[in-house]
Amino acid sequence: MNKIMDRKLLNRFYDRGFLFIGIFATSISLIFLLALLLDILADGMGRLGWQFLSSYPSRKPEEAGILSAWVGTAWIMVLTGCIAFPLGVSAAIYLEEYSRKNWLTDIIEINIANLAGVPSIIYGLLGLSLFVRFMNMERSVIAGAMTLAILVLPIVILSTREAIKSIPPSIREASYALGASKWQTIRNQVIPAAMPGIMTGVILAMSRAVGETAPLITIGALTYVAFLPTSPISSEFPYLSFQGFFDAFTALPIKIFNWVSRPQKGFAIDAAAGIIVLLVITFVMNAFAIYLRQKYQKKIRW
């Protein structure tokens, strides 16, 4: 009896010790993050303004702006989402609902899991060889978006598969009992129920993509761009233009990296302001994805 009591006390000691270690590690991380954010805000807030957001890059730090950079980032993120989301969700649905469990699907699943941990520079080299050179897309917006889409595709696939696995079998069985086909069950029952988990994966994927620099530098994205991609809305029939997809571009991570490498202190202040804008863009994207996730979650009633 005494041994059992001693074992319980020891287990409680281990549990509390692990709890304190976790709180300590989390607190240290949050302190460093807070210190970094305060330092960036102190350096960059004074530089923020309409002139900074609406001006093109300049060799003079006090005149430099991020217009082409944040517009290029917006283009890249929208296209990356439009490519990665349908491809990733479709691949996950096939692997989880339609594919047969054999050696081929096992190899595909192992490779998808491994691709999620591949360094981003490797995807940049792939994009340079496949999209820029082989497909002759040059250093364009669509080449950058497709490179980042491949980068985040494994994250979308894995998170979507986990979300689909979490749906209770009773949902499918009830749908089949009412005469629905397999595709009708997936489209009307499984996907809406799994959407909160899918959107969580999309949030993680897009958050990684928005800050990636190495793949864009590898494919040759420019650091100095004094123009914007062509607007997708045209004044002539059919009132849509795809020329912007093939225009040269820059992005906020590249511009920030370029400014940080400059010796002038003014460019370091510009970089801090650019980081603040990049954080705001990231928070806005995440907030929109969280809103969609919560919207679908409210509709779910098990």
pLDDT score at 18: 84
Q: Which of the 8 DSSP states describes residue 243?
A: G
CA distance 122 to 37: 30
In the block, residue with structure tokens 């020891």? 10
CA distances from 273 to 44, 87, 268, 284 (A): 4, 35, 9, 17
Helix axes 191-210, 141-165, angle to 10 degrees: 140
Which pair of structure tokens corresponds to residue 255? Answer: 């511009």
The residue ranges of the chain whose pLDDT is under 70 are 1-6, 297-302
Choose among 45, 65, 63, 70: nearest CA to 54: 65
In this structure, the chain runs to a length of 302
Q: Using CA atoms in the order 11, 12, 14, 17, what is the torsion angle rounded to 10 degrees? A: 180
User: Tokens representing 269?
Assistant: 């202040």
Cα–Cα nearest to 213, from 153, 253, 173, 186: 253
Query: Which pTM value belongs to this model?
Result: 0.83
Report the C-alpha gap between 178 and 18 in whole angstroms.
50
| Among 293, 127, 265, residue whose Cα is nearest residue 202 | 293
- So what's the pLDDT on residue 87? 92
Sign of CA dihedral 101, 104, 105, 109: positive
Contact between 273 and 47 under an 8 Å Cβ cutoff? The reply is yes
pLDDT for 300 equals 59
Give strand ranges (E) for the chain. Answer: none
Q: Is 233 helix (H, G, I), strand (E, B) or coil?
A: strand
Q: Dihedrals φ, ψ of 240, to 5°?
A: -130, 140
Determine the pLDDT at residue 176.
86
Q: Long-range contacts for 254-261 (Cβ within 8 Å, ≥24 apart)?
A: 254/69, 254/213, 254/216, 254/217, 254/221, 254/222, 254/223, 255/57, 255/66, 255/69, 255/223, 257/213, 257/217, 258/223, 258/224, 259/61, 259/64
In angstroms, how far is CA 71 from the centroid of its own chain? Answer: 17
Residues β-bridged to residue 240: 233
